[in-house]
Amino acid sequence: MQLTLSKISYIISMMSIRKRTFHIFCACIYTLLCWGSITLAESGQNRKGLEPANLVFFYKKYINEGIRYLERGDKEEAVKSFWNAAELNPRLPEAYINIGIVRLQQGNFDDAMRLFLKAESLASSDYIKSDILSYNLGLCSYKKGNFSEAIEYYKDALKITPEFGEALFNIGMSYREIDKRIEAFMHIFKSKRIFQHGAQNEYTQRAEQILESLRKDPQTDTSSLAEKLLEEGSQCFKDGELEKALSYMHESITVNPTYAEAHFRLGTIYADQEYFPRALKCFIQATELDPKHLKAYINLGSTCGELKKYKEALDAYQRALEIDKENPKIYYNIGMVCLATGAKDKARQFFKKAKVLCTKEKDTELLKQITQAYRKIK
């Protein structure tokens, strides 16, 4: 199965909810027509001489009849039923959307676009399926080769439904068509996460295939891509979205395994969650990739201390001092290791040095920690 744009379309139905499996490529989505009777009554389009209540009934009947024809593969009969609905009330968008989808699947993109735009002009500002209408406009624009226009329509759909996986995927595909590989990767990666959470295995596999092709594409700037993934992961961590943060960090490393900063930040997340053995591996990897990474050495020392690996902690702090001899945090941390191992005199010396440097930098928070540490010595 291919997750191609022509195979993802949404039919607006008046029936009860009916979710078809994704390999059929067509989902029936229930639309509440709670405002339908009002619209019909006010429109004055009583072409069959029916009362407004009957118009509502027959409008729904024709739409649902069209859906049933589509389920049997009879597209032309489906279109006839949808047109019957449109004749009953030409001021409702559902019939035009459904006919447009059939035309899109038949490859008649100009006709499909015209019908979708007609539906858009009829839809109210709070139309319950505006996301699907925008999505189908995006499909049509893509098939016509208007990739930038397609992206804007898909973005409109995402404004309404931010977790619209197919829209994210198709934005990525559109970006790929205009050679914006980093943007393509980021959107498809987001869509893959949504597909995974929804247990949409075929869509997940298709997304991963595209991601892998982008990873291997010699024209993909993997360094910039890794930075972008790291940036997104860091923001997710700040927002408290731990699972997302980890996935972005891991992907950053997958894209660029020699990116020391990604290993460092991944270790920081693990340390924050007190997964110290995992954090330790990340910090070691970061320092091996970048022997001048000061924060990685400091965090490596702290993590070793948490694991009671005091010799390794001191080694890490000594490496940190070789990079920055005026950093009060390093002296404080060494003092804490000395304190933990019972070397109180050495601890006092390092706390004293840390205090002098702290006073120069006016680091009041660290000064408080040093004062508390002195109390433990006494």
Q: Which CB contacts under 8 angstroms, 24+ apart, belong to 347-356?
A: 347/373, 347/377, 348/374, 348/377, 351/377, 353/328, 354/328, 354/329, 355/328, 356/328
- State the pLDDT at residue 308: 96
Evaluate whether residue 378 is within a structural domain. no
pLDDT, tens digit (0-9, with 9 covering 90-100), for 227-240: 999 999 999 999 99
Q: What is the extent of the structural domain holding 60? A: 1-159
Evaluate whether residue 281 is within a structural domain. no
- State the pLDDT at residue 11: 53
Within 8 A by CB and 6+ apart from 18, the residues are: 28, 30
Evaluate whether residue 260 is within a structural domain. no
- State the pLDDT at residue 10: 54
Evaluate whether residue 54 is within a structural domain. yes
Residue 50, both tokens: 């029916």
- State the pLDDT at residue 22: 28
Evaluate whether residue 192 is within a structural domain. no
Evaluate whether residue 19 is within a structural domain. yes
pLDDT, tens digit (0-9, with 9 covering 90-100), for 45-73: 445 555 666 778 888 999 999 999 999 99
Evaluate whether residue 127 is within a structural domain. yes
- State the pLDDT at residue 52: 65
Evaluate whether residue 295 is within a structural domain. no
Q: 348: buried, middle or exposed (CB in 10 Å: 19+, 13-18, 0-12)?
A: middle
Domain count for the chain, please give it. 1
Segments of the chain with pLDDT less than 70? 1-53, 378
Find the CATH number of the domain harbouring 153. 1.25.40.10
